[in-house]
Structure 1
């Protein structure tokens, strides 16, 4: 009886000693882990605790990850909210992203400004819109407009038709535009008659007037559209972009399509050309492109497009094609408008009708020649095929 009691007591003591050793080892391991965490810092993802705290979506390697924003709750705590993915159907910017685009020049705004610009008296003309032959006009209500007198008629014609093509495509980044004849007997220009005569504009010259926008800043070409990049494609990592950067890229995709259709060489294409002797040109502001404080890209000075751009197309086409090939993400509405113009092959008729119905001086200024109308339709067809190519390549992503 005494021997059995001794055996039981010995076994119990042995178990207690074993348990104490295990607890001692575990405690030492935990203390070492805590010291290691302090050395690495609270943001480190090297410990098991840190790894387990990372949400599964953040650990994924999704090339089109959504936009991450930090939100603050009513009790003052912060949290991470992930917006929907910025792409849909492989190659289109998402509807939720486009819904957050800053408002451009809407149809209503353009109509109201055009009415005022044709009715208000011009009270002053001064330099301030590029070439010395151009002028900054001030109207009687205090608003302003850039008055552009082309070196030849095709520049004003190109700027005007580019504006109406943008409207046809649903691109709202081009400021409202009207035509005017300052040398006519209209009372609108009577107050600045002497100034107009001093500018030596040709008799009955037609000029363009575009809305002058205050507080604009320059825009640098984004990295995906630079020659050393793989381009604006669905395979790029959009998850690291801020919402402001994504919204700007949406507008750049429209700009690339617009400049290709008009063959405008005096913006991104001229920068590519200048790389031959200026390796840092892409790090500076892009020609004829500005931005409002709200983030709207403003496509200005489009006189190199369409008429003049088509006339010198052979000189610039390889640069135009290179820029278009670098983009495989589009606004859905722009792609739909291009598809309709391709399907019905009526770009000339639609553009002419819009131009004639909107601009009283359309007949005075003229329209595209048969050859230039053919080039426009051909470039629409090329953009359409390029979008199809991108859809075929990336629609499964």
Structure 2
């Protein structure tokens, strides 16, 4: 009987050892399966990121489908022509959050439209000119994220019967009427990959897109694409206001702030508004000029249509004069500003920034081909 008990104990021990061995093998296989699944998931993420690009430096057609579309050019011009003939029926003081301070206003037109109105008290009126010029440049470049602008003389019959004296406006003043954007917010933040590029000094290129795990949604891809176009545009027009909250070098925490003079529609489209602080302030060494230049060097991935149009524009003897002629075709009132702005100096400055932008794009292209 004693021998049988000893045999039973040994048998139980042996069975336990076999069971433990089987469990270990099972856990090991499960762990390997998990690791394999994680690796496959990571590879799929990288593969998906790769399908966003073409030719090393361009977003492909698939990626650009995530960017919400604005008004087409033909509809944009029709809108401007229609607004140019609408009578102003009501003038309302603007405020800090709606259309801005400084003598600006909100107007209601007889067709029911609402417009923001930009006014400038100085004789030069460079801000009014800049608003209109920026819009026409954006359209010439194929962009659709700058709202339409109409220059209007407040002494014209279209303003008859309106009260604008309390705004500090004077007869025969020119104002810029800017399309009202519905269902928007001021919550436009710098994408994390651009923040990383600012901090590291290394641009967002195909390697970054290939390896990042931050482009997990259509929205994140859309915002990165739109920021890239905004950065090029702001450097080109010498905008000194949009990125002013990003005091680069003061502290990285400031890079988490909301971008100034931008709006986001409920569908995720980023609008570049208040382009008054552009073009005609002639300080090439200013902090904001340096900031725009530094921001330009944070990105080496571009929208193909934009690069194509930039290169086409650069082929003209003077790109600035070509844009100016294009703009006055639709907005003849711009001619009145020529005597009040430093026209030739502004032209030279613009042409230099265009050359600088294309030079950076070519550097990105060369870097991509050497990989």
TM-score (norm 2): 0.83
What is the CA-CA distance between 1:113 and the residue it aligns to? 1.9
**Correspondence for 2:194:** 225
Identify which range, 356-365 or 223-232, moves more after superposition: 223-232
Residue aligned with 1:235, SS: helix
Runs of 5+ consecutive residues of structure 2 not aligned to the other structure: 1-12
Q: Cα RMSD between the aligned structures?
A: 2.7
Map 1:294-305 to 2 at 5 A: 294-305=267-278
| Closer/same/farther in 2, CA of residues 325 and 46 from structure 1, 3 Å limit | farther
Is 1:168 matched up with 2:146?
no
Aligned partners of 2:239 and 2:277 also within 8 Å: yes
**Correspondence for 2:279:** 306
Question: Among 335, 340, 358, which residue is 2:330 paired with?
Answer: 358
**Correspondence for 1:101:** 67
Aligned partners of 2:321 and 2:347 also within 8 Å: no
Aligned partners of 1:224 and 1:231 also within 8 Å: no
Identify which range, 227-236 or 201-210, moves more after superposition: 227-236
Map 1:380-395 to 2 at 5 A: 380-395=354-369
Residue aligned with 1:136, SS: strand
What is the CA-CA distance between 1:22 and the residue it aligns to? 11
Question: How many residues are paired up?
Answer: 343
Is 1:183 matched up with 2:155?
yes
Runs of 5+ consecutive residues of structure 1 not aligned to the other structure: 1-20, 38-44, 68-83
Aligned partners of 1:90 and 1:391 also within 8 Å: yes
Distance in 1 of aligned mates of 2:356 and 2:151: 31
Q: CA-to-partner distance for each residue in 1:75-110, whole Å, 9 max, x for gaps? A: xxxxxxxxx611111111112111332112321331
What is the CA-CA distance between 1:368 and the residue it aligns to? 6.5
Aligned partners of 1:65 and 1:238 also within 8 Å: no
What is the CA-CA distance between 1:178 and the residue it aligns to? 0.9
Aligned partners of 1:66 and 1:238 also within 8 Å: no
Distance in 2 of aligned mates of 1:33 and 1:134: 75
Distance in 2 of aligned mates of 1:337 and 1:228: 30
Aligned partners of 2:121 and 2:169 also within 8 Å: no
| Closer/same/farther in 2, CA of residues 140 and 85 from structure 1, 3 Å limit | same
What is the CA-CA distance between 1:162 and the residue it aligns to? 1.1
Distance in 1 of aligned mates of 2:235 and 2:225: 16
Distance in 1 of aligned mates of 2:175 and 2:249: 33
Question: Among 204, 207, 212, which residue is 1:235 paired with?
Answer: 207
Question: Among 106, 122, 127, which residue is 1:136 paired with?
Answer: 106
What is the CA-CA distance between 1:251 and the residue it aligns to? 0.8
What is the CA-CA distance between 1:239 and the residue it aligns to? 4.6
What is the CA-CA distance between 1:53 and the residue it aligns to? 4.8
What is the CA-CA distance between 1:111 and the residue it aligns to? 1.8
| Closer/same/farther in 2, CA of residues 365 and 105 from structure 1, 3 Å limit | farther
**Correspondence for 1:75:** none
Question: Among 154, 159, 163, which residue is 2:131 paired with?
Answer: 159
Is 1:199 matched up with 2:167?
yes
TM-score (norm 1): 0.78
Aligned partners of 1:348 and 1:373 also within 8 Å: yes
Map 1:264-303 to 2 at 5 A: 264-268=239-243, 270-273=244-247, 276=250, 280-303=253-276
Is 1:48 matched up with 2:32?
yes
Q: CA-to-partner distance for each residue in 1:100-129, whole Å, 9 max, x for gaps? A: 321123213312321221122211111231
Aligned partners of 2:135 and 2:149 also within 8 Å: yes
Identify which range, 241-250 or 109-118, moves more after superposition: 109-118
| Closer/same/farther in 2, CA of residues 215 and 61 from structure 1, 3 Å limit | closer
Distance in 1 of aligned mates of 2:342 and 2:76: 23
Question: Among 48, 53, 60, which residue is 1:87 paired with?
Answer: 53
